[in-house]
Amino acid sequence: MSVTTAPGMDAETFDQFLDQLERYVRERLIPAETEVIANDRIPDDIVAEMKEMGLFGLTVPEDFGGAGLNTTQYAKVVQTMAYAAPAYRSIFSINVGMFNSAIKNGGTDAQKAEWWPRIAEGAIACFGLTEPGSGSDSAAMATTARPDPEGNGWIINGTKRYITNAPHADVGLIMARTEKDAQPKNAHVSAFIVPMDTPGVSTSSPDKKMGQAGSHISDIMLDDVHVPGDALLGEQTGQGFRFAMMSLDNGRISVGAASTGYARRALDSALKYANERQAFGEPIANFQLIQQMLSESWTEIYAAEAMMADVTARVDRGENTVKHAAAFKVFASEMCGRVVDRVVQIYGGAGYLAEYDAERFFRDARIYRIYEGTTQILQLQIAKHMLRDYAAGL
């Protein structure tokens, strides 16, 4: 059987882009972290630079103004960006990993022609699935979309919760119930492309969070929001949850790549500290139990990088990667949690002080085990697909 691999950007050009990005992260983004944390926002000039570099349209096809990266290349970009403060990745990753993926998988030609150029130019997207009373349980979704009696459009009502980028997004992909119930399962959920300046759309004040300063989440309130018929993704009802789940595979790869990049940043910080910190007349890096924590962390990061290479190659070959994407996200996010915990331990008492980076790494990393599906939900999903494959003799 022949397998077609997603071509992506020319390899030499991509390597040059990645080298440039690594310098940008170290010379521009990391020095600006203090300002990002102090003001809880990314400076406007840095956002403008990121848009100019094409980070908001990484996987948008070149014909529509994007960079046309394949999934392997996109994950490497995320990993590179995630070496700096998480807010830098967060502001563009919803565009690429979630919104653009849904448009690619479920959008009509007209929707692609309308939204891909906007995304490539730097329009900021958000993804509205979670609600006050539902997250992974779509059956409990309360947001509704009913046909507009005065036209061919829809009227959306409901509330979405914990939506990344919502306070400053230009467009949202909103999941809403279009049927009371339907078969097959989840066919009651449809997806709508909703400009955030549509009358009736509002957002709450950004939520105060444990970490990830500069990355903003909030509620989205939809009060009799009228959208035209072509706002329905794919112009088909009952497909929203399927498109959302397909997008979440990319989102989970993004979170896994971010976890891997941030774990590397934390470990590099611990390695530097262990060589500088003196105890008993020598660097603590000479102590074997410190070396154990360093080596365990390096080994786990290496394993996550190997998983990332495998799952992204599978995506680019067109394989079904539900299990693989979930497994990578689970392992990488849990790995990052273990690494930052060791990093705090290596720093010792200093690791508990806000003036050192270790404390921030610890707080920032915690959300990765919750984003885009908790570890526990994904473990259930992996097992479900394992059992399904076994029953099918695969």
**How many angstroms separate the CA atoms of 13 and 36, rounded?**
31
> How many helices (H) does the chain have, and how many strands (E)?
12, 9
Torsion angle in degrees (nearest 10) through CA of 167, 170, 173, 178: 90
Which of 25, 39, 26 lies closest to 216 in space, CA to CA?
39
**How many angstroms separate the CA atoms of 103 and 61, rounded?**
12
Catalytic residue ranges:
372
Cα→Cα distances 244→30, 192, 249, Å:
33, 11, 9
Q: What per-residue string of b and e applies to 152-176 under the rule 16 or more CB within 10 Å gives b?
A: ebbbbbbbbbbbbbbbbbbbbbbbb
Token pair in block for residue 135: 């997250």
Task: Give the SS3 label for residue 381.
Answer: helix
3-state helix, strand, coil in the chain (%, to 5): 60, 15, 30
